[in-house]
Amino acid sequence: MATASHESPAPESPAPSPASPSTGEPAPDLARHWTLDPEVAFLNHGSFGACPRPVLETQAELRARMERQPVDFFVRRYEGLLDAAREELASFLGADPEGLVPVPNATTGVNSVLRSLTFQPGDELVTTDHEYNACRNALDFVAERHGATVRVAQVPFPLRDSERILDALRAEVGPKTRLLLIDHITSQTGLVLPLESWLPELSRRGAGRDVEVLVDGAHAPGMLPLDLRALTEAGVNWYSGNCHKWLCAPKGAGFLYAREDRREAVRPTVISHGANTPRPGRSRFHTEFDWVGTDDPTAFLSVPAALRFLGSLLPGGWREIREHNRRLALAGRSHLCAVLGIDPPAPEEMIGSLATVPLPDGSPEPPRSALYADPLQERLLGEHGVEVPIIPWPAPPKRLLRISAQLYNHEDQYRQLAEALRAVLA
């Protein structure tokens, strides 16, 4: 994985909570910065994130400015505010701000790239069977429209090491491959993939030209120490990520990053004024993506507040946050494996702030919601006060349980989940 130190400076903010001398965990009162229901052990940060109060207050102030004088806000102020937010996020991500544009979420960024490209019959588009369903659907849609073929690398889970994934990709990426769509962190299984070491080889497996690489980085910002410049040097053409997950920005904040030579190839999913508005000194990439129509841009404009506030909560800033969350996810996984009587399903080095374990089979019926609603998930919440996702993967009746770890969590919550599982699976 890319490693670099691009940390936001800490602003004036509430004093950090002291670390627990016995466990090294932040004291539980860090949860006071979030508006989460205190009666629920919320172990599902990975699905939609959770935004702390001070960042929501920043967003509310921005919304108040917007509504007090909408014309002034959008016509005279917005572009400067956007550029400032872009610069700060780019610094955190190790990115060139000229290659960074706002999108509502990582799925939108993936769609923007896929739907901008042209393929020919016989072209092959490669992904893995761990790819997030929404982005896999976009890949299938584009392939069908152009007569291309989707090839899927079959990755086992549980697995012993990351080399099994690389071997599966080597079996699918070949002379006909035009594009590789790959997760940086798999959504369903929570595996951190070492892209920087893999991609130089995989991108050169095309015939006559490099395979183009689109990374679905939905979970990576805030969980991994990203250096997007290094990733583009390793072979990434486009990288799409979320800010509302592990950066704890408001929902609706994401980004698309493009390597310099691939920026002109991508158009936003909504074509708007930027398509024919000449802006001297401003790229078409920015002009088109920065304004796709009237919307509420305050989520993305609040990203700097999220970077600063979260980074102020522990003495070691974002580095310590990542390390803390990883330790907590591994501890939670250990409690679950003990109750389920299974070995850890993936090596520790492939774990970040998410950890997934396989469960006994459930119903063979498809889930009643695209966002999942397994009866076990409802029982864990209703009977035991634990919110955690039960994911049908690779397909019902097979299913997984995925835990998240964020600063508002503590190890007792994972013990609570383990005991709840013991009771409901008895």
The tens digit of pLDDT for each residue in 55-74 reads 999 999 999 999 999 999 99
Report residue 19's pLDDT band, with 50, 70 and 90 as the boundaries: very low
| pTM score, whole prediction | 0.92
pLDDT surpasses 70 at 399: yes
Report residue 260's pLDDT band, with 50, 70 and 90 as the boundaries: very high
CA 244 to each of CA 202, 260, 307, 388, 412: distance values in angstroms, whole numbers, following the listed order: 30, 26, 11, 18, 25
3-state secondary structure the chain: CCCCCCCCCCCCCCCCCCECCCCCCECHHHHHHECCCCCCEECCHHHHCCCEHHHHHHHHHHHHHHHHCHHHHHHHHHHHHHHHHHHHHHHHHCCCHHHEEEECCHHHHHHHHHCCCCCCCCCEEEEECCCCHHHHHHHHHHHHHHCCEEEEECCCCCCCCCHHHHHHHHCCCCCCEEEEEEECECCCCCCECCHHHHHHHHHCCCCCCCCEEEEEECCCECCECCCHHHHHHHCCCEEEEECCCCCCCCCCCEEEEECHHHCCCCCCCCCCHHHCCCCCCCCHHHHHHHCCCCCCCHHHHCHHHHHHHHHCCCCCHHHHHHHHHHHHHHHHHHHHHHHHCCCCCCCHHHCCCEEEEECCCCCCCCCCCCCCCCHHHHHHHHHHCEECCEEECCCCCCEEEEEECCCCCCHHHHHHHHHHHHHHCC
pLDDT at 14: 39
pLDDT at 133: 95
Report residue 28's pLDDT band, with 50, 70 and 90 as the boundaries: low
pLDDT surpasses 70 at 11: no
Percent of the chain with pLDDT over 70: 92
Mean pLDDT over 224-236 rounds to: 96
pLDDT at 278: 81
Domains in the chain: ranges and CATH: 64-306 (3.40.640.10), 317-424 (3.90.1150.10)
Report residue 25's pLDDT band, with 50, 70 and 90 as the boundaries: low
pLDDT at 408: 97
| pLDDT per residue as tens digits for the range 186-217 | 999 999 999 999 999 999 887 657 899 999 99
Average pLDDT, the chain: 92
